[in-house]
Amino acid sequence: MTNMDNLDIVPNSTLKRNSLGLNSSQKLGDKITVDVNMKYILEDQEGNPQLSDSPGNGNFAVNLFAPTVNVNDMLGEGGLGRNADLTEFRISDNSYSQNPWFAAWNYINSSEKERFIGALNARWDIKDYLYVRGRIGGDRYDLHRTGSTPWGTAYQPNGSMNETKSSFRQYDADVFIGTDNLQLDSDITLTAFVGIGQNSQEYNATGVSGSDFIVPGLIDVKNTKNQGSSWSYWKKQINSAYGSAELGFMDYAYLTLTARNDWFSTLSLKDKKAPNNDLYTSASLSFVLSDALDLGSSVDFLKLRGGYSQVAGGADSPYALSLSYGIYGQGHLGASLGNISGGTIPNSEITPFEKNETEFGIDLRMFDNKLSIDATYYDNETLGDIVGVSASATSGYGSALANLGNISNKGIELLIKGTLMQSDDFAWNASINYTNNTSKVVATNDTGGNISMQEPRSRNLRVTHIVGEKYGALYGSSYVRDASGAIVHQMVNGIPIPKIGPRKILGFGVAPTQLGIGSSVRYKDFNASVLFEGKTGGQIYSGSNAFLIRNGHHKKTVPAGGREAGWVPTGVMEDGSAITTSIPAAQQEDYYRRTYSIAEEAIFDSDYMRLRQLSIGYNIPSDKLDGTFIDKATISLIGRNLFFLSNSVDNIDPESAYNNSNSAGLEWFGLPVPRTIGLNVNLKF
Amino acid sequence: MKKIVLTIFALSLVFSSCEFDKGFEEMNVNPGKAAQIDVANKFASVVLQTSGGRYENWRASLIYQSVMIQHFSSTAGYWSGDRYFRNDGYATSLWDRYYPSAVKEIEDIRAQLTAAGNTGSEMGMTRILRVFIYSRITDLHGDCPYSEAGQGYTNGILKPKYDAQKDIYTGTGGFLQELEEAVAQIGASTTLGASDLVFQGNTTKWKAWGNSMMLRLAMRLSKVDPATSKAWAVKAIGNGTMTSNDHIALIKHTDGPGGINKNGHGEVFDADGNPRMSKTFVDWLKDDPRLPILAARRSDKSTAIADLIGMPNGSTSATVPDTSIYAEPNRNVITKKDVPMVLQTYAEVEFMKAEAAQRGWTAGSAATHYNNGVKAAMQMLSQIYPNAAAITDAEVTAYLALKPYDATKGLQMIGEQYWAATLLNEYEAFSNWRRTGFPVLTPTNDPGNVTGGTIPRRLIWPTGEESTNADNYKAAVAAQGPNNFTTRVWWDKQ
């Protein structure tokens, strides 16, 4: 049973979670075993902070104030950022520049979630070499969300609200028959099974919404002038048949062969010609060298492994294979309104995608397990991935569903752990975790066209997959530069401003290299640990910095001599001559309005190394607990995300980028990863 | 061992005889959607999409065009059209919204009617509306996807080519030919009835609009190709254009329940208190009975003539710290969410006829058409806006006596009246100003402008097309000129 209360760094934002778990295992006779696991979770969230754009995101407004502005001057009536009549306490003529207190205290964005996770696992040992196993698992939740832009909001004076109830059901079931460690020969064992399985998911949501409150402050859909309702439903299922056989030789060599066929409902359509299923296989071999040969006393364990595997997958979303129409809104002057649903062009002949991977690994433990090295090399390619290929909006659609191309990934993963010192009272451990991945877009569609993903609000850049390049190029407008790399300027209204160059690759959003270094020390009942984490090799388009520069809030917009003295930008003029014109203070804004439209200005390397975690703990010695009902007690102080050792992006936390894989490398006024300091008391009875 | 092999073999047999995807085809059909729907539902939808949402009516229509053309003015920095700033998202908002909504839907309707073999009124009405939709796009941006647009599903065209504006207007399948054929196929009635949210199934009015639009688009060519312009204008007039304010093409709106039902401009005025009446416009409306209907003082809503002062375009919060002393669009009359969106008026038709006569293209009297136009433009206000006071015949007569038609400056007088009559049809006002040069406007000259201190001649294409439709975009830049605000569209010949 657990209970968690979390107060966010944004005012009025809370998360409460209560959960109840139950595990039970029972033997029915000596041949049947039944395990049951259940978990029930209640989650209550209030004032979830909104991200990205203003309004609703208090962080956006706070970031754009001049540093001389005190946020506490905006508190308004009761500190809620509003006036006595419930209207927003305005901080600017621009109704979209919202009072952050108003956003935090008056907007409603809350949810209640009730979740139940259960699994039943039964095994029947028919014979001593043969068993049948059945598993069924369910994960279901009911979610109630309420959102409201209050009456009195400057940009939406009459306000609006919505209430949604949704339910999600996921079931997994499989049954298989198999054998464990069957001795086929004195040296050969067999572990094998064949089975069938099913995964089904269903979502069902109904909602009501209303705009224009009649009575201010009363949050009820009936209290709105214009009301609407919505229903959303989908269901999808995957059925599978699979088998696996592992042959063991002398307990040190193992060959594993698997085969699996999946059928996807999301790829099924009447009269479809292409398959809705795929058969995929794998083979792997592992060899415990330390058991087969005598490697000397310093080697405790050495295993080599290698394999080839395939995995297939279907379309994520159902109903994407055919065009459909819907009736929307509530009609207009007696006419009903209908149109094509969705902005993606359906494709009736979509087939499963495949990911093929070759992998080699080594697992080495030495010196009485004081040093361990786990290293893996992999090389995979994803073929026929199901994606929306971007279409020009002039086609009427934003994208077209397709099986596309070939994206390859190669890399290594390395984990080294060492015990540097150890005695009864003292231990010192250290570990290094290093991964490096090289991606490449090998092919896209027939014509090798680019695949466009997300773009930021400034719309001068798009995450794009380009053949021959790494995955996720940041493709956007650039500076025009001369042969020496100097930024070329042109005269506009008497001041030199940079020319806008063509779109080009400005970086890649996915950082290829990650490094983690950890260490822990224990002395008697005290322990301490530290973990550093970092990434390198990627880039980020920072919308926050783009905005800060445009609005003159970024440090770089203040020239060394101050703005009033005028400022001569660095670079050259179109004819190659040096820039001599000084930009007066009043026109420096025009300079930065131009650089805002050049994506390159806000591209940064997203390298960082941060102190992820530092903890200090104390185990209360058990002799001190004698006579109490407590069996064991630990107290620890844990700090997370305390500081950066290095951060190559100005002003923001590189981890506050949106981390959706389709838009990796974009950032727009996200909240920083919070610095937390916690005290943890762990008691066992 | 043998037993196991046999067991596995037996199980494999059992598996292979199963139908593993039973029910999947039915499961993957969305229970909340239909495979096809009636044209009537689609037609009602596309009409409202043409009227447009708050998004593009705010940005393309008001933030850019209404202030560029000096109907309105604003000190707010994001009202980019007042001081000719570049804001890509605002400048491309009509394009960004129309192609995935109005264009997509009208092409879908056309395909459905074609498949059904419909060659009657419904097809004719669809073709007229289709020309209207594309005319807004091409007049604003120049060359644009037309013959291949909106066909991502029907013909699998993900990257439509940009058609030359000349072909869009005068080519095979171009606007003028389309309108001629469309009007000809409209019969005495239509099955669309109440779903025709423009004329409620009145096909006579559709024919009059089709011909009036032909006249409008013919006149567009007066600079670049006077002969073609004249030929089509004469044809349009001969075929029968709008004859009274009852023929005005407009889309009625209601204040809810959804955004789709509301007038997009009305939604903007609800959220944005920045626009003021331009000094240029208010000064021109001196002695005009329309002034107190269209304008009211911001501070106290006064419509007393003496209180109505226009704010100069190019003002900033530094030069005008208090904008509330100026007149704004009258919030009691023209800015409401339940007023109609006007597509074309009878007054415009009379002004175009006056111009055709003035140019000697037709035998009619320019003065008569001018007078008819002024009268229609004044008296239509109470017909369009429920809260507008009716302007009497006597007031019209008095105004015309004060400003009688003067043939020596006929084109200018006509152009200025056309400009005043197209308030809140900013697309048309901007196009006609570019064609005629009237009214003569003094550009603003903010240091941050991107046009060298001249009023923009077009709005830019989305630069995102550089990545999603690269080859066609490059070809369009090569054909039309750089993608900026000063490149002229084909018919806007210097």
Q: ipTM of this model? A: 0.93
Whole-number pLDDT of residue B249:
98
Nearest CB partner across the interface for A270, out of B25, B36, B96: B25
Q: How far apart are CA A27 and CA A37, in angstroms?
A: 15
**Rounded average pLDDT over A539-552:** 90
Contact A336, A327 (CB under 8 A): yes
Query: Which among B467, B474, B477, B483 is the top mutation candidate for probing chain A, defined by the most A β-carbons within 10 Å of its own β-carbon?
Result: B467
Annotated domain spans of chain B? 39-260+337-465
CA proximity to B456, closest of B422, B480, B483: B483
Q: Where are the alpha helices (DSSP H) in A276-329?
A: 289-292
Nearest CA in chain B to A185: B1
Peptide bond into A55 cis (omega under 30): yes
Nearest CA in chain A to B323: A93
Query: Which among B8, B12, B19, B24 is the top mutation candidate for probing chain A, defined by the most A β-carbons within 10 Å of its own β-carbon?
Result: B24
Amino acid at the residue B236:
A
Whole-number pLDDT of residue A71:
81
pLDDT greater than 90 at residue A352: yes
Q: How far apart are CA A298 and CA A477, in angstroms?
A: 58
Contact A613, A530 (CB under 8 A): yes
Q: How far apart are CA A429 and CA A414, in angstroms?
A: 17
Whole-number pLDDT of residue B371:
98
Report the DSSP pairing between strands A335-340 and A325-332. Answer: antiparallel
Least Cα separation, residue B79 to chain A (angstroms): 11
- Per-residue burial over A439-473, b if 16 or more Cβ lie within 10 Å, else e, is bebeebbeeebbbbbbbbebbbbbbbbbbebbbbb
The H or E element that residue A243 is part of is strand A224-249
Whole-number pLDDT of residue B95:
98
pLDDT, chain B, mean: 95
Whole-number pLDDT of residue A382:
92
Whole-number pLDDT of residue A562:
87
Least Cα separation, residue B241 to chain A (angstroms): 27
Whole-number pLDDT of residue A15:
83
pLDDT greater than 70 at residue B349: yes
pLDDT greater than 90 at residue B182: yes
The H or E element that residue A62 is part of is helix A58-64
Interface of A with B in 196-225 (CB under 8 A): 196, 211-212, 225
Tell me which chain A residues have a C-beta less than 8 angstroms from the C-beta of B21. Answer: 239, 263, 265, 268, 276-277
Q: How far is CA A569 from CA A264, A286, A578, in A?
A: 59, 62, 10
Whole-number pLDDT of residue A629:
76
Whole-number pLDDT of residue A672:
72
Q: To which residue do tokens 């240091």 refer?
A: B447
**Rounded average pLDDT over B432-449:** 94
Q: How far is CA A204 from the centre of its chain?
A: 24
> What's the CATH fold of domain B39-260+337-465?
1.25.40
pLDDT, chain A, mean: 89
Angle CA B215–B218–B221, to nearest 5: 150
Least Cα separation, residue A607 to chain B (angstroms): 27
pLDDT greater than 80 at residue A275: yes
Contact B417, B373 (CB under 8 A): yes
Q: DSSP class of residue A71?
A: G
- Is residue A279 less than 8 Å (CB to CB) from chain B? no
Whole-number pLDDT of residue B17:
58
* Tokens coding A9: 């760094």
Q: What is the number of alpha carbons within 13 Å of residue A131 lying toward its C-beta?
A: 18
Q: Using the beta-carbon criterion (under 8 Å), do A335 and B76 form an inter-chain contact?
A: no
Q: How many CB pairs under 8 A join A and B?
A: 272
What string of H, E and C letters represents the secondary structure of chain B? CHHHHHHHHHHHHHHHHCCCCCCHHHHCCCCCCECCCCHHHHHHHHHHHHHCCHHHHHHHHHHHHHHHCCCEECCCCCCCCCCCCCCHHHHCHHHHHHHHHHHHHHHHHHHHHHHCCCCCHHHHHHHHHHHHHHHHHHHHHCCECCCCCCCCCCCCCCCCCCECHHHHHHCCCCHHHHHHHHHHHCCCCCCCHHHCCCCCCCHHHHHHHHHHHHHHHHHHHHCCCHHHHHHHHHHHHHHCCCCCHHHCEEECCCCCCCHHHCCHHHHHHHHCCCCEEEHHHHHHCCCCCCHHHHEEECCCCCCCHHHCCCECCCCCCCCCCCHHHCEEECCCCCCCCCCCEEEECHHHHHHHHHHHHHCCCCCCCHHHHHHHHHHHHHHHHHHHCCCCCCCCHHHHHHHHHHCCCCHHHHHHHHHHHHHHHCCCCHHHHHHHHHHHCCCCCCCCCCCCCCCCCCCCCCCCCCCCHHHHCHHHHHHHHHHHCCCCCCCCCCCCCC
* Tokens coding A388: 């929306």
pLDDT greater than 60 at residue B13: no
Q: How far apart are CA B448 and CA A6, in angstroms?
A: 47
Q: How far apart are CA A505 and CA A471, in angstroms?
A: 12
Q: How far apart are CA A41 and CA A46, in angstroms?
A: 16
- Per-residue burial over A231-242, b if 16 or more Cβ lie within 10 Å, else e, is eeebbbbbbbbb
**Rounded average pLDDT over B92-116:** 97
Peptide bond into A654 cis (omega under 30): no
Query: Which among A87, A190, A232, A394 is the top mutation candidate for probing chain B, defined by the most B β-carbons within 10 Å of its own β-carbon?
Result: A394
Least Cα separation, residue A410 to chain B (angstroms): 28
Q: DSSP class of residue A564?
A: T
Q: How far apart are CA B153 and CA B134, in angstroms?
A: 19
**Rounded average pLDDT over B163-185:** 98
Q: DSSP class of residue A289?
A: H
Q: DSSP class of residue A499?
A: P
* Tokens coding A41: 């979770």
CA proximity to B423, closest of B301, B256, B278, B260: B278
Count CB atoms within 10 A of the CB of residue A421. 10
Tell me which chain B residues have a C-beta less than 8 angstroms from the C-beta of A179. Answer: 4
Q: How far apart are CA B409 and CA A616, in angstroms?
A: 89
Q: What is the pLDDT confidence band of residue A669, given thresholds at 50, 70 and 90?
A: confident
Among A34-48, B24-38, B204-218, B407-421, whose mean pLDDT is lowest? A34-48
Q: Where are the alpha helices (DSSP H) in A208-345?
A: 289-292
> What does the pLDDT look like over B405-428, one tens digit per residue?
999 999 999 999 999 999 999 999
Contact A408, A440 (CB under 8 A): yes
pLDDT greater than 70 at residue B118: yes
Contact B337, B329 (CB under 8 A): no
Count CB atoms within 10 A of the CB of residue B301. 12
Q: What is the pLDDT confidence band of residue A521, given thresholds at 50, 70 and 90?
A: very high
- Phi, psi (degrees; rounded to nearest 5) at B352: -70, -40
Q: Which residues contact B440 (CB under 8 A, 6 or more apart)?
A: B412
* Tokens coding A215: 């009575």
**Rounded average pLDDT over A309-319:** 93
Query: Which among B9, B154, B158, B262 is the top mutation candidate for probing chain A, defined by the most A β-carbons within 10 Å of its own β-carbon?
Result: B158
Q: How far apart are CA A155 and CA A60, in angstroms?
A: 15
Whole-number pLDDT of residue A53:
58
* DSSP character string of A338-379: EEE--SEE--TT---EEEEEEEEEEEEEETTTTEEEEEEEEE
Among A111-125, A539-553, B169-183, B289-303, whose mean pLDDT is lowest? A539-553
- Is residue A94 less than 8 Å (CB to CB) from chain B? yes
Q: How far apart are CA B65 and CA B423, in angstroms?
A: 11
Contact A539, A507 (CB under 8 A): yes
> For chain B, how many residues are written?
494
**Biggest distance spanned by C-alpha atoms of chain B:** 113
The H or E element that residue A401 is part of is strand A399-422
> What does the pLDDT look like over A589-622, one tens digit per residue?
889 988 998 999 999 999 999 999 999 999 888 7
Amino acid at the residue B374:
V
* Tokens coding B490: 């084909």
**Rounded average pLDDT over A38-48:** 88
Tell me which chain B residues have a C-beta less than 8 angstroms from the C-beta of A450. Answer: 467, 470
Whole-number pLDDT of residue B4:
58
Q: What is the pLDDT confidence band of residue A631, given thresholds at 50, 70 and 90?
A: confident
Q: Using the beta-carbon criterion (under 8 Å), do A263 and B11 form an inter-chain contact?
A: no
- Phi, psi (degrees; rounded to nearest 5) at A566: 85, 165
Contact A276, A236 (CB under 8 A): no
Count CB atoms within 10 A of the CB of residue B425. 22
Nearest CB partner across the interface for A268, out of B21, B37, B89: B21
Burial category of A620 from C-beta neighbours within 10 Å (exposed 0-12, middle 13-18, buried 19 and up) = middle
Q: How far is CA B321 from the centre of its chain?
A: 34
Contact B40, A332 (CB under 8 A): no
Q: What is the pLDDT confidence band of residue A16, given thresholds at 50, 70 and 90?
A: confident
- Angle separating helix axes B203-219 and B175-185, nearest 10 degrees: 160
Q: Using the beta-carbon criterion (under 8 Å), do B150 and A502 form an inter-chain contact?
A: no
Q: How far apart are CA A259 and CA A245, in angstroms?
A: 9
**Rounded average pLDDT over A163-189:** 92
Whole-number pLDDT of residue B251:
98
> What does the pLDDT look like over A362-408, one tens digit per residue?
999 999 889 999 999 999 999 998 888 888 999 999 888 888 888 89
pLDDT greater than 70 at residue B7: no
Count CB atoms within 10 A of the CB of residue B115. 10
Q: Using the beta-carbon criterion (under 8 Å), do B260 and A332 form an inter-chain contact?
A: yes
> What does the pLDDT look like over B26-80, one tens digit per residue?
999 999 999 999 999 999 999 999 999 999 999 999 999 999 999 999 999 899 9
CA proximity to B81, closest of B70, B95, B97: B70
